[in-house]
Structure 1
């Protein structure tokens, strides 16, 4: 049996906010992979590489994904932890947060993450300060729109 995989360059992105919805950090990474579902999971796993110490002080973390299969994998891992105190090493960083919630979001409601993924086509990045001069206006405009809708500004 022959199996053929089409290896593609894919871009993943993520945005982290505090428990009040305020911006903490954003990232975009260009990576090679053959499974779009795995890329969604890779975005969650990449977050552990950029966590800043103060982020653990938040009341918890909400991880929004736009892929039901990945949502189920993540929820299953946390449920297994609650029952057997066993979790995969690559997800163990989630245990450092006081609370972890997983949520499904429609792809078109995840504009900031989409912008980050598209910007990763050019270069990988991590932004932990919105005053950083290299952040494009499109990201800042979308962030402002979301903050306005949440009543944060």
Structure 2
């Protein structure tokens, strides 16, 4: 049974939730949120694209992570990459298990080799609300937020973050 709200990663890990948004005029965006085991906000991003295939965009959201990964992220025990497109997540899970010598040869995912452990996880849309907000904002403007005091973070994002943390009793 799928959960109705976001859940933190295992102790010592970070979780990156990703999503994509596609408008009828082919304007598109990808986005995501990085949080730790306590649900603490670490980073959020969004980027604009022009595309026509939502599945490809969901995959592009994961490829885009190489642009936002910071050195401090490699110090965690692992990274959980979570999305709400089951087909993309299943394909990545299968591909990850089949890799040889623990090296990814696909250059779009090679950045994952630097993490201690990587886990791809499917979640329901209800558990991916913040990433969805970022993807929809990314349609219109690329951004990276590393501080919740950033004046460009919309109240809807902050409200959703607070709601998710409150639901888990994290703050």
TM-score by length of 2: 0.78
TM-score by length of 1: 0.87
Q: How does 1:1-153 map to 2 (within 5 A)?
A: 8-82=26-100, 85-153=103-171
Q: 5+ residue gaps in structure 1?
A: 1-5
C-alpha distance 57-150 of structure 1, shift in aligned 2 (>3 A): farther
Residue 12 (structure 2) aligns with: none
Checking the alignment, whether the CA contact within 8 Å between 2:103 and 2:110 is kept in structure 1 is: no
Deviations 1:6-27 (A, max 9, x none): 9811121111112433211111
| Structure with the largest fraction of helix | 1
Deviation at 1:29, TM superposition (A): 1.3
* CA RMSD between the two structures: 1.9
* Number of equivalenced pairs: 148
C-alpha separation between the residues in 2 aligned to 1:9 and 1:128? 25
C-alpha separation between the residues in 2 aligned to 1:150 and 1:126? 25
C-alpha separation between the residues in 1 aligned to 2:37 and 2:77? 6
- Could you list the structure 1 runs, at least 4 aligned residues long, displaced by more than 4 angstroms after superposition: 82-86
Deviations 1:18-52 (A, max 9, x none): 24332111111110112110100111111110111
C-alpha separation between the residues in 2 aligned to 1:7 and 1:137? 26
Q: 5+ residue gaps in structure 2?
A: 1-23
